[in-house]
């Protein structure tokens, strides 16, 4: 009995210590793993348009359910980064609602660091856009104030010209 327990721990301990070492196994079992790996490499290199294209092809293609789900995860992450406005950002985050963990908790194929990076970059992009919009609004408010002053000046000048015109009209009247 002790021998079996010892053998059990000798086999189980390395598996437990490997942690997420089992994650790449999922990619090797997946027939679309080559495409997903290409997309991951493009993503890691910052080639987000290329990565989005690859993940879209896997997601829209005749892939397995697991491959589509993995592609959806990476596609959402990529679109979060490439979002140009709040609407696109929220749409990309919405894609994550469709994504489901495909495997038991220790055996998922998606890399959580990808999503973390996507959210960090995406939130920085959105913050930058908000700051830019605030500056634009402040500039427009300042321009509106200047235009209102110009309108007041022009109204005053018009009233003075009307008064001068009135005086000229009165002088021209025959007695």
What DSSP letter does each residue of 91-153 carry, written as one string? HHHHHHHH----S-GGG--S-HHHHHHHHHHHHHHHHHHHHHHHHHHHHHHHHHHHHHHHHHH
Q: Is the pLDDT of residue 51 over 80?
A: yes
Count CB-CB contacts under 10 A for residue 107.
13
Q: What is the pLDDT of residues 59-69, one digit of tens each?
A: 888 888 888 88
Q: What is the pLDDT of residues 109-156, one digit of tens each?
A: 666 667 777 777 877 788 788 888 889 999 999 999 999 999 999 999
Q: In the predicted model, what is the mean pLDDT of the chain?
A: 77
Q: Considering only CA atoms, which of 58, 105, 49 is closest in space to residue 81?
A: 49
Q: What is the pLDDT of residues 7-39, one digit of tens each?
A: 444 444 344 444 444 344 344 455 578 889 999
């Amino acid at each position: 009995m002790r021998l079996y327990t010892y053998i059990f721990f000798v086999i189980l301990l390395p598996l437990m210590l490997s942690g997420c070492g089992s994650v790449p196994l999922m990619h090797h079992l997946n027939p679309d793993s080559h495409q997903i790996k290409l997309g991951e490499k493009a993503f890691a290199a910052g080639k987000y348009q290329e990565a989005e294209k690859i993940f879209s092809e896997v997601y829209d293609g005749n892939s397995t359910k697991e491959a589509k789900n993995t592609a959806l995860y990476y596609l959402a992450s990529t679109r979060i980064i490439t979002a140009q406005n709040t609407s696109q950002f929220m749409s990309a985050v919405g894609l994550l609602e469709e994504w489901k963990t495909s495997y038991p908790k220790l055996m998922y194929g998606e890399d959580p660091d990808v999503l973390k990076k996507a959210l960090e970059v995406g939130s920085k992009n959105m913050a930058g856009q908000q700051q830019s919009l605030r500056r634009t609004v402040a500039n427009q408010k300042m321009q509106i104030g200047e235009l209102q002053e110009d309108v007041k000046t022009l109204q005053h000048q018009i009233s003075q010209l009307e008064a001068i015109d009135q005086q000229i009209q009165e002088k021209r009247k025959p007695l």
